C-alpha cells in the first residue's frame, strides 16, 4: 500500500510539473499571439495604427502603375506575337564577319575623327588656311632661331 501511495504521489507530482510547464508554454503562446496581432495591425497598410501610412499610399500607387505597365506590355506582346515572325538566320561565321567589319569601321572612324581634330582650328577657306599655315611655319622658324641663340649664349657662358 505504501508503494502504491508513493507511486500515486509521484504521478501527482509529475502531473503538477507538466501542468506548470503547459501553463508556462500557454502564457508564452498567448504573448506571441498578442505580438503577432499587434504587428499585423501596425503593418497593415491604411490602418490607423500603421507605422508609415504615406509609404503605404506610395506603394499602392507604384503597384497600380506597375500593373498598368504590365498590361501595356502584355498587349504589345500580343500584337508582336500576332505578327508574322521574321525568318532571319544568322550563322556564327556571319556574325563574326560582321563584328570584324564593325571593328574596322570603328578604327576608320577613329582615324577620321583624329584628322578632323587636327584641322578643326583651320578656317574653311583654303587660301586663308594656307596663309595661316605659312604664318604658323614662320612663327615656328622664329622660335627655333630663338632657341638656337639661347643655346649658343648658354654654351658661351659655360666656356
Those residues of the chain that have pLDDT short of 70 are 45-54, 56, 85-86, 122-123
pTM equals 0.32
| pLDDT at residue number 52 | 66
pLDDT in tens, 82-97: 777 667 788 889 999 9
C-alpha cell at 112: 577620321
| pLDDT at residue number 85 | 67
| pLDDT at residue number 32 | 95
Helix (H, G, I), strand (E, B) or coil at 50: coil
- What is the dihedral angle through the alpha carbons of 47, 50, 52, 55, rounded to the nearest 10 degrees? -30
For 42-129, strand residue ranges (E) read none
Contact residues for 45 (Cβ-Cβ < 8 A; gap 6+): 53, 56, 57, 59, 60
| pLDDT at residue number 23 | 95
| pLDDT at residue number 53 | 62
| pLDDT at residue number 80 | 82
Amino acid at each position: 500500500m505504501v508503494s502504491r501511495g508513493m507511486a500515486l504521489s509521484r504521478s501527482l507530482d509529475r502531473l503538477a510539473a507538466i501542468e506548470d510547464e503547459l501553463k508556462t508554454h500557454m502564457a508564452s503562446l498567448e504573448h506571441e499571439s498578442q505580438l503577432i496581432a499587434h504587428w499585423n495591425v501596425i503593418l497593415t497598410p491604411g490602418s490607423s495604427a500603421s507605422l508609415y501610412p504615406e509609404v503605404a499610399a506610395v506603394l499602392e500607387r507604384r503597384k497600380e502603375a506597375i500593373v498598368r505597365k504590365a498590361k501595356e506590355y502584355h498587349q504589345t506582346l500580343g500584337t508582336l506575337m500576332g505578327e508574322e515572325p521574321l525568318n532571319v538566320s544568322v550563322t556564327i561565321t556571319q556574325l563574326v564577319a560582321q563584328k570584324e567589319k564593325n571593328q574596322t569601321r570603328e578604327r576608320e572612324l577613329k582615324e577620321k575623327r583624329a584628322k578632323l581634330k587636327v584641322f578643326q582650328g583651320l578656317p574653311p577657306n583654303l587660301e586663308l588656311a594656307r596663309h595661316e599655315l605659312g604664318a604658323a611655319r614662320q612663327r615656328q622658324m622664329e622660335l627655333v632661331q630663338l632657341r638656337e641663340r639661347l643655346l649658343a649664349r648658354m654654351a658661351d657662358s659655360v666656356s
